[in-house]
Structure 1
């Protein structure tokens, strides 16, 4: 892990910023979006500070390995894209139930071509799942009656979803 961290820390500052992480995660044929990088960093640090030390970097690498395993499990034809039914399957493994109409909206929102394609690629899949997972966690926190319903003030709602935009 230390070797990977040193490779990612291109400026040798002892931490990795979002741009360095984006370069580290990208491959010759696929560039990770900054949107997904930011969601990953937030998921690990629970802050909008866009710097990772080796401890956070290690947790992020393990998280990405888990995401890759889930993606590969649902991408059975190895097309490197998944549609809404495969996304639903992946989200179910995370304990997230999402209605079909929302699944279609998610795929349109996270599709690389701005919604023209009906599939999403690996890095967008991670961003999509992190978004749904975090939103459902916040909903559960506010669902005090455990009936699938929650009440938010405008300020509370905006602060809950703002980092996801």
Structure 2
């Protein structure tokens, strides 16, 4: 009798797992259907590719201002595998997830739900990513990426800040061969580093 109960429990568990898998597949198809509808709305010229301009018009940074063109260009550049200046539907799926992931991070640190993060919130976010920088440097970041002159960074500028910081870090690490946080480069190497980022 105990063995029958165990078999019954095992069968119930397997049925639950199958139902969960079917639900996940169904949700995935629903998500893809929703994203296809979004893609078609954004692709205004029906080219099958979302351009920088189309993407900028479709994105919202939550502050009723246009999405930062530099951020849009960076996003397209990251996901445009064919270098055609836009993203097709498959590339758009990755781009959508990337933006949503950043949006969730941003919301975690926008504690007052203002649509902006201040210097301290930026510091908390970047510290959670592993960056250990001075308060003075966080002030520099805010002034660099604060397009509206409020002493705060909007969502789109936060993405741009993180992209630039990651690119700079990647380039720095290539030259920091002994990983001590210091590099020695010639002027030409420095220029090469900078031009690989901008």
> Do the two structures share a fold, i.e. TM-score over 0.5?
yes
Query: Superposed, which structure 2 residues align to 1:1-165 within 5 Å?
Result: 1-26=35-60, 29-45=64-80, 50-113=85-148, 116-162=149-195, 165=198
Indicate the structure whose relative CO is greater, using CA pairs within 8 Å and at least 6 residues apart. 1
Q: Which runs of 5+ in 2 are unaligned?
A: 1-34
- Distance, in Å, in 2 between the alignment partners of 1:52 and 1:59 is 10
- Distance, in Å, in 2 between the alignment partners of 1:101 and 1:5 is 41
Q: Which runs of 5+ in 1 are unaligned?
A: none
Superposed CA RMSD in Å reads 2.4
- Distance, in Å, in 1 between the alignment partners of 2:75 and 2:187 is 26
Larger helix fraction of residues:
2
Quick check: which has more Rg, 1 or 2? 2
In the superposition, relative to structure 1, how do residues 51 and 77 fare at CA in structure 2: closer, same or farther (>3 Å)? Answer: same
Q: Give the SS at the match of 2:126.
A: helix
Aligned residues: 163
Given that residues 68 and 156 in structure 2 are in contact (C-alpha distance below 8 angstroms), is that contact kept between their aligned partners in structure 1?
Answer: yes
TM-score of the aligned structures, taking structure 2 as reference length:
0.72
- Distance, in Å, in 1 between the alignment partners of 2:108 and 2:81 is 27
- Distance, in Å, in 2 between the alignment partners of 1:19 and 1:104 is 31
TM-score of the aligned structures, taking structure 1 as reference length:
0.85
